[in-house]
Structure formats: structure tokens, C-alpha cells
Structure 1
Amino acid sequence: MSFDYDLFVIGGGSGGVRAARIAASQHGARVALAEESRLGGTCVIRGCVPKKLMIFASEAPHAIEEARAYGWQVEAGRFDWPAFRAKLHEELSRLEGIYQGGLVTAGVDIHHQRARIRDPHTVQLADGTLKTAAHILIAVGGRPTRPGIPGDELAMISDDLFEMDSLPGRVLVVGGGFIACEFATILKGLGCDTTLTHRGDLVLRGFDRQGRELVTHQLEQIGVTMRLDVQLQRLDRDGGGVRATFGDGTSERYDAVMLATGRHPYTGDLGVENAGVSLGRRGEIVVDKWSQTSVPSIFAVGDVTDRVNLTPVAIREGHAFADTMFGNHPRHVDHAIVASAVYTRPHELASVGLTEEEAEEKGDIEVYAATFRPMRSLFAGSQLKAMTKLIVCEQTRKVLGCHIFAPEAGEMIQLAAVAIGMGATKEDFDLTVAVHPTLAEELVTMRMPVRRGGPSHRAAADEQAA
């Protein structure tokens, strides 16, 4: 059977663009790509990139305060949000142009419209045009989830923050994950009176508990009002603002409310049911390790599969798919060891591998940890503590996890991830000579475990208690 293309990609985010470009430029495939919004997807247009630039902008007040402590006579001026926003969008347009240019150079046909699946080899564009392909790759990513409470349409989602005409004077951030913590940090740093509400007792569920405690404490220390262990019940219009009613019976008025209550795979009205593609409980596309769906000709990568929802993972999955299908180089992505970072300020939380809690359930472990006030901020009078932590298997001596809470922790965890991915032992870390004076040297100077855990240690403790 003759097809219009060897590959049709639905979605122009990081994973879809990488798959299309590699398949076309390196492996000679005939490729088309459809994107209903802007090329670059969530990360480039409404996620990682603009968020990180906003983080940089929000750091200025802290940097000025620290400069004073180091003897500089400086004062902060007024933050010009419209000027920053204009420059931000200029940068995003530049990056979008790079994405489009890469696809054009590779020979990919770009369709700037929505595409739906008609059958295992056919997609229909929004203008009604039908295109056939030997293989279809779904890379449409995810979208923010609203909690389904009365009035939630009155709130912003994370996408909206980059489009605001002005900064809200008083803002409520709802959620306790990456996005909530980072945007609470940003909004507070830019001068907004910021409250974060979360139904749990600590933010960042799924991270190492010690790190979660430190991030929660830091948010309080930088002036974010924390409303924990309480659920948002409803939102109502209140003049020019929004009134939030909580599960404890209290209510507060805010100029704006931002929802950061999770994301879901963007599979609605995609037409996957027309081809018989299996979906999971959350609407995610179910795939095997080769990113293949229940339909042999249809594949999926990135957040739409709800495996590890990080941009670099989507890029790796897209590249591996292209090499496997068109490059005669079968390979898949190992999702077991993936580093990540939460860009709060002044300290970030970064992690790779198992948390202490996860590792304890799998076997006997040793925990090496150090908490201390970093030299730079200590001199400036800060009380905030940093943390470095290694989780070590007692039997194999392999480092199972590394967790860092410190300035620029994301930069450090990238290098730690290389060592852990190679199977480094605690003794390998010990043999590494420290770079002094640095914060990172703590990773190679912790000699004695602060505690042990796991089945054997729990049994011994129970026996001793009896």
C-alpha cells in the first residue's frame, strides 16, 4: 500500500519535533507534522523556558538584599512587568523560529492546524484534508487540570501567567507540586502578596521527605503564606477579584487565583478510539517500552503517555523512536534513573534515583546526609539550610539516590546522575577528591551514615523494643 508519508507526527512539542527531525534528516523518512498551536509545545512556549526566565527575574530582590550584606549600597527599583513580558515573548518567538527552521531544513511538511486520527494509517486535518502514513506518532503532551470545584473557571492556569496584563497584588496559588511551588516563588519574588494552599501537610509529594520539609519551610521563610492540610472548596466572583472558600470554613478575597492542581494527557477529541488505541485510567495512551500502542502502526511519546513527564524524557523517547523505526538502530529509554529539579528560590530541590522512603521498602540501606548553612548565604545572615543526601544499598554499596537542596542544585544533580547511572558505589564517591570551597564537595565528604533503614533494621528495632 502506498502512503503519503512514512511518518505523520501529531504534536509539535519537544518530543514530536525531535522524532520528526531525526526521522527525516538522519534517516531519510518522508515526514509530516501537525501542530494546532505554536511549535515548541509546553516547554518552550508555556512551560520550562518562560518559567525559568521568570525565576531569574524574581531573584533580583534577594540578590539586592544579599549585595547589601556584602557591603554594596543598592536599592531596588520598580519591577516593570510589561517590559519584561514583551522581552519574554520576543525570546519565545525566537525559539519557536528555531524549532520551525529545524523542521523545514530537515524536509518535514508542517501543517499549522489540529489533526485527528481516522484509522491506523490516516489522519484528518482541521481543514478536512486526509493524509495517510505508514506510521503515526502521537506527541500532543498534556494540559493543566482544573479541580472540578464550583467557580474554578474564574481561576488562571499556569499558561495564563505569561499573558497577564499586570501582576496581581494578592494571589492564591492552589496545589503542592512543581508548578505550584515554582510559581509561588516567582510571584512572591516579583512583589505579589502570595498564598499557597495545599491539601497535604508538605509540598512536593513523591520527593524525598526531608527535601519536602525543607522546601515547605523555605516557602514560608521567603514570605509565602502557607495554608496546608486544607482543601479549596469553591471560588466566587468578588468585585474585581475572586473569593476563595476553604474546607475549614474560612474565606479570603484575592486579586487572582492560579490553579496548579496537576496535568492530564491531552487525548480528548484526538480520535484514538477510531483506531482502537488503548487508553489508561487518566486518559493516557498506553505504550510498551518501544513507545508502541495497542495498534502496531501508532506510537506515542512524551507526557501523553504519562510515564515520566519531563521534557528531556520526551526528547529521548522521540529520538529513540526515530532511530528504531527508521534508522535500523533499535533502542528504548530507561525511565528508572531520571534526574529532576524544582526551581524554587533561593534553594532548588534536585533529585535522582530512589527517595529514602522508596529505598527502605526495597531493602536495607544506609543514609548519608548533611544539612548546613552555605557559606555565601551564611555570610549574608541567612538562616536557610542546604542539604546533600545519598541513599546507599548496604549489600551492593551502590548509590541508589541523591537529593540536593541548595542554590543551583539542578546544576549539581545533572553530574550526580551520570555517576549513579553508571552504577557508582559510595566508595566511588569517597575516592573523589573534593573541590574546595564548594557546596558540591559535601557529596564526596560524607563518611558516616546518619541512619540505616530497611527490613532487617526494622526487624531488629522491633525485637529490641519487645
Structure 2
Amino acid sequence: MSEYDYDLFVIGAGSGGVRAARLAAALGKRVGIAEEYRIGGTCVIRGCVPKKLLVYASRYGGEIEDARKFGWDYEDLQFDWPTLIHNVHREVDRLNGAYTRTLENAGVDRFLTRATVDGPHGVRLADREAPISADYILIATGGSPSMPDVPGKEHLISSNECFQLEALPDSIVVIGAGYIGMEFASIFAGLGVAVTVLHRGEQVLRGFDMDLRDGLAEAMRDRGVDLHMNADIAAVEKDGGGYRVALKDGSSVCASLVMAATGRAPNTKGLGLEDAGVELGRNGNVVVDEYSKSSVDSIYAAGDVSDRVALTPVAIREGTAFVETVFEGRPTVMDYTFIPTAVFTEPEIGTVGLTEEEARKKYREVDIYKSSFRPMRATISGRDETVLIKIVVDAATEKVLGVHLLGPDAAEIAQMAAISLKLGVTKPQLDSTMALHPSIAEELVTMRQKWTPPEPIKGSDAAA
């Protein structure tokens, strides 16, 4: 028998932690897991899943309006927020139960309390005095919203609180234009809320392909979302029944509610990691090597807490790679290339691979293929809607480096494109693939004409 209580103890029962615990237990290891909130983590409880359900709800209003042109008629159309949020909570409860049963069926000991690290092989639980020992400890505590440090920050809500609202506000200011900010701005706009977005950068969605960024900003403005770029927040103040957001340029914006979507930070505060000798990074993240091992040989980290790629499928794969490395004797290095990513706005974004900007920095010559068109459904509905599809190619090898989409079903298309990119698809291979007609995705295999950027205006032409 081992000298430790457990072969593995996991702190944090989100997607990565649950996957690692289940797989290790399936190998016959003694596994314990602690979670201070609810089993399922950010994605299941207060992130991807409930947010996507709100996205679906926010799209029905426009789709029902579109239906009139397709021959459908209706009367007395109404939306009820309490009904929606009740049903969302019911689904979250179901998933929480499913995750809990998964751990139970795998034989994992579950501790619904806060856990902290007590040395390289020790774990302390908040509800008991005696520490628990483990051969290996996996930190999988995820991340949480980072709130801007401005006067009046106590008036702000984060994305977490959006799922607890008893009623929809008449108006909302969203601070930040990353994917979380843009998704919630789109959700609220679709549900009839007046939305203002304040962002200190020059364009929304930093890090995404510029054509997608420009296209989404234009589409959101067309939907009535008031986007303010280069907007630095000075303070948030109570203003009657709502709030006033003061900007550093002297202007201000008033709304019923103010939401901050200004990034997320790893949950490492108060975990005892530094006392155990674990190195933390600038953002408080657990610094790990290519095998997810921290500076302490017995302590590993997976998911958002390591601040590598903060996506649920990545956390799951990191948890899997940890078990393969530590308990199966198969050292597994994560591959972070060609990770498909979606932004569930309206219109939707799906992307995989290098942006045009990234590709031009890395490769000597890059070919760009772009197609912009009106989707077929809009020809009857009359909706002002445009699809953008862009392919980034290495000119020397003709290998596809990136695929970027803006429009209906962009995320679903990007998932399938990711398979091709992972396998090293070339542009001629895309060209030789039979198209599925009529569909949006067929544009991926029918684009032949390279896009040529316009020549810059010089000299007297510029003056003219």
C-alpha cells in the first residue's frame, strides 16, 4: 500500500479536473476531488453551457420575425425572462447531477468544500482538521472574472451574475469587447435591451482576424448596439435607479445595469501554492512545463488555472494528457495548434488556425482567399445579413494556415475545418473537394480567386 491517502487528489471539479479524476480512477488509482462550489466548473455551471442557452433564446426573436416572409403568421409574441432563466437553471442542475454521478460511478471520493495545498503531498479541507495526503496533486481550480479597479467597482456585475438576474434591465453598459463582452452584448440586444459597449482598444475581439473584427463590429452596430472604442473608464456611480459610467475624456453613459467583461484571472489566491514551493506567473497562474507539471514534481495544473488556452476542450485534453503522462507511463505533450474557437454573437464567428496578421509575420508570402455574400435565407427574409469566409494559405507550400468565418453556423463549420487543418490540408485539396450545394460551407471548397489588397494612394492622388 502507498504511504499516501490517495494516489491523486484533484482540487477543482471543473471539466479538466473531473476528466483527470475519472480517468485515473478507471486505472484503479485511489482518487479524491474537492470542489467548493458545484461540480461541473465554470463551463457547466456559469459559463459555456448556460450562456449558449441564452444565445439560443436571444436569436428566436429575429428568427420569428424572419418567419413572416416565409409564410408563417403569429399574434401576441412575448418574451418572459423568468421562464428562460428557470429553464436554464434546471438544465444546469441536471448537468451538475450528471457530473456528480460520473465521479461517483468511477469511485472517486468527493469533498464539497474548499481545499488548499499543504506542502508537496498535503491537502487541507476546510471542513476537517486532519490533512489529506496524496502522491500527486492536480490543481484545476479554473479562473474567475477580473473586475476593473476603478472607483465604484462595487456597482459592477460580471458574467456570473447575469445568470442570476431576476429581471432584464431596460439598458446595460458592457465594459470590454472580448468574446465574453461581445457575446453578452449580443444576447442582451437580442432580448430587447438597449446595449452600449465601452472598450479601451481600437476594435473589438483583440487577437481575432481583423476582417472578422471589422465585420462583427459593423454587424453589431447595424443591430443597434452602441459600440464605443478607445473608451477608458474613470468611475462608476449610482444615478437614480441606475448607474452612470464616467469616461476619462469627460463624457459619460447611463444605464440600468453595468457589466464588466474585462478578462479572467486564474483562481490561485489563498490556495497555499507558493508556500508549497509552486511558482506562480504574472497573472497568478500556475507555471507549468510541457507536461503540465509545476515547479514542484508532485503538483500539476490543468485548465484555466495554468493560463495557457482558456477553453473547456483544452482543459479536458490537458486533464487527459496529465493522466497519460503520470499514471499510464505515456508522456504526452499538448498540441495547441489548430484549436477551433467560436464567438456566439449574432452574427456568429468560427475560426481555426492563424489569422492573416499572424501568418504574414511568420511566413514569407501568404495568399488570401475571401468571399462575402448574402446568405440564401436573407433573400426572402430581407434581413441585412452578410457572410464572410476567409482562407489563409502559405504561398510556398499551399498549406492552409487558417480558416475564419462570420455568419450563420460559423462555429459548426469551423469545427469541421479544424479536422482538415489538423491533417495538413492544402488549398488544392480543398479545391478538389466536392461542394455541398446550396450551403454556406461550400464556399470553403469553391473559392479560386486570390484576394489582392487595394494599392495605397500616394502623392498627389492622396491630396485629390
Conservation of the 8 A alpha-carbon contact between 1:118 and 1:271: yes
* 1:23 and 2:31 aligned: no
d(CA) in 2 for partners of 1:445, 1:428: 11
Give how far 1:119 is off.
0.2
- Cα deviation for residue 451 of structure 1 reads 2.9
Question: What SS class does the counterpart of residue 172 from structure 2 fall into?
Answer: strand
Return the offset for 1:71.
2.6
Mapping for residues 175-324 of structure 1, pairs under 5 Å? 175-324=176-325
Q: In structure 1, what is the equivalent of residue 4 of structure 2?
A: 3
Q: Which amino acid aligns with 1:451?
A: T
Name the SS of the counterpart of 2:250 in structure 1.
Answer: coil
Describe the superposition over 1:383-415 as per-residue Cα deviations: whole angstroms up to 9, x where unpaired: 321111111001111100010111010000000
Equivalent-residue separation in structure 1 for 2:304 and 2:23 (angstroms) = 20
Partners of 2:306 and 2:223 in 1: how far apart?
36
User: Displacement, 1:332?
Assistant: 2.5
Separation (CA, whole Å) in 2 of partners of 1:312 and 1:177: 19
Instruction: State the SS of the aligned residue for 1:433.
Output: coil
Partner of 1:58: 58
Q: Matches of 2:184 and 2:89 in 1, distance apart?
A: 18
- Following superposition, the deviation at residue 336 of structure 1 comes to 1.7
Quote the Cα distance in structure 2 between the aligned partners of 1:447 and 1:251. Answer: 48
Q: Does 1:406 align with 2:407?
A: yes
Contact 2:66 2:383 in 1 (8 A): no
Question: What is the deviation of 1:232?
Answer: 1.6
Q: 1:340 is matched with which residue? A: 341
User: In 2, are the aligned partners of 1:64 and 1:76 still within 8 Å (CA)?
Assistant: no
User: Given that residues 242 and 254 in structure 1 are in contact (C-alpha distance below 8 angstroms), is that contact kept between their aligned partners in structure 2?
Assistant: yes
What's the TM-score once normalised by structure 2's chain length?
Answer: 0.95
Instruction: Tell me whether 1:77 sits opposite 2:114 in the alignment.
Output: no
Deviation at 1:452, TM superposition (A): 7.6
Q: Hey, what does 1:381 align to over in structure 2?
A: 382
Contact 2:198/2:231 (<8 A) preserved? yes
The answer to whether structure 1 residue 95 and structure 2 residue 95 are counterparts is yes
- Distance in 1 (alpha carbons) for counterparts of 2:74 and 2:258: 33
Distance 1:225 1:75 in 2: 30
Equivalent pair of 2:55/2:344 in contact (CA under 8 Å):
yes
Deviation at 1:309, TM superposition (A): 0.5
- 2:157: which partner in 1? 156
Deviation of 1:6 after TM superposition, in Å, equals 0.2
Question: Do the aligned residues in 2 keep the contact of 1:194 with 1:224 (CA within 8 Å)?
Answer: yes
Deviations 1:3-29 (A, max 9, x none): 00000000010000000001102x111
Displacement of 1:80: 1.1
| Higher mean C-alpha deviation, range 73-82 or range 236-245 | 73-82
Deviations 1:142-171 (A, max 9, x none): 000011011111011000000011110111
Corresponding residue pairs, total: 454
- Deviation of 1:79 (Å): 1.3
Question: Which position in structure 2 is the counterpart of 1:329?
Answer: 330
Residue number in structure 1 paired with 2:49: 49
Instruction: Check conservation: 1:367, 1:452, Cα contact below 8 A.
Output: no
CA contact (8 A) 2:266 2:305 kept: yes
How far residue 360 of structure 1 moved from its aligned partner, in angstroms, is 0.2
1:409-424 equivalences under 5 Å are 409-424=410-425
SS in 2 for 1:195: strand
- TM-superposed CA distance for 1:75, in Å, is 4.2
2-structure distance, mates of 1:75, 1:450: 47
Deviates further, 280-289 or 93-102: 280-289
Task: Identify if the C-alpha distance between structure 1 residues 76 and 294 changes in structure 2 by more than 3 Å, giving closer, same or farther.
Answer: farther
CA distances 1:406-433 after superposition (whole Å, capped 9, x unpaired)? 1010000000000000101111101101
Question: Secondary structure at the residue paired with 2:378?
Answer: helix
User: Residue in 2 aligned with 1:433?
Assistant: 434
**Quick one: structure 1 residues 398 and 452, their matched pair in 2 at CA, closer, same or farther if it must change by over 3 Å?**
farther
Distance 1:378 1:228 in 2: 32
2:25 corresponds to which letter in structure 1? Answer: A
**Aligned equivalents of 2:393, 2:452: Cα separation in 1:** 11
* Kept in 2: contact 1:366–1:452 (CA 8 A): no
Counterpart of 2:370? Answer: 369
Quote the Cα distance in structure 2 between the aligned partners of 1:224 and 1:129.
54
**Kept in 2: contact 1:115–1:123 (CA 8 A):** yes
Q: Among the aligned pairs, what percent are the same residue?
A: 48
State how far apart, in whole Å, the 1-side matches of 2:222 and 2:36 are: 42
Deviations 1:36-64 (A, max 9, x none): 00011100000000000000011111011
Instruction: Say if 1:61 and 1:76, in contact at 8 Å, map to a contact too.
Output: no
Tell me the CA shift for residue 190 of structure 1.
1.1
Shift of 1:94: 0.4
State whether residues 34 and 113 of structure 1, in contact with CA within 8 Å, keep that contact through their aligned partners in structure 2. yes
Q: Equivalent residue for 1:395?
A: 396
**Structure 2: how far apart are the matches of 1:112 and 1:172?**
36
How far apart are the structure 2 equivalents of 1:281 and 1:396?
38
CA distance in 2, matches of 1:29, 1:256: 49
Aligned partner of 1:464 in structure 2 is none
Correspondence 1:353 to 2:353: yes
Give the letter aligned to residue 196 of structure 2: T
Q: Quick check: 219-228 or 306-315, which moved more?
A: 219-228
CA distance, structure 2, for counterparts of residue 336 and residue 98 of structure 1: 31
CA displacement at 1:293 relative to structure 2 = 0.6
CA distance in 1, matches of 2:453, 2:340: 24
3-state SS of paired residue (1:451):
coil
Question: Which runs of 5 or more residues in structure 1 are unaligned?
Answer: 462-466
Contact 1:64 1:75 in 2 (8 A): no
Q: Which residue in the other structure is 2:115 paired with?
A: 115
**Is structure 2 residue 125 aligned with structure 1 residue 125?**
yes
RMSD: 1.6
Inter-partner Cα distance in structure 1 for 2:432 and 2:76: 45
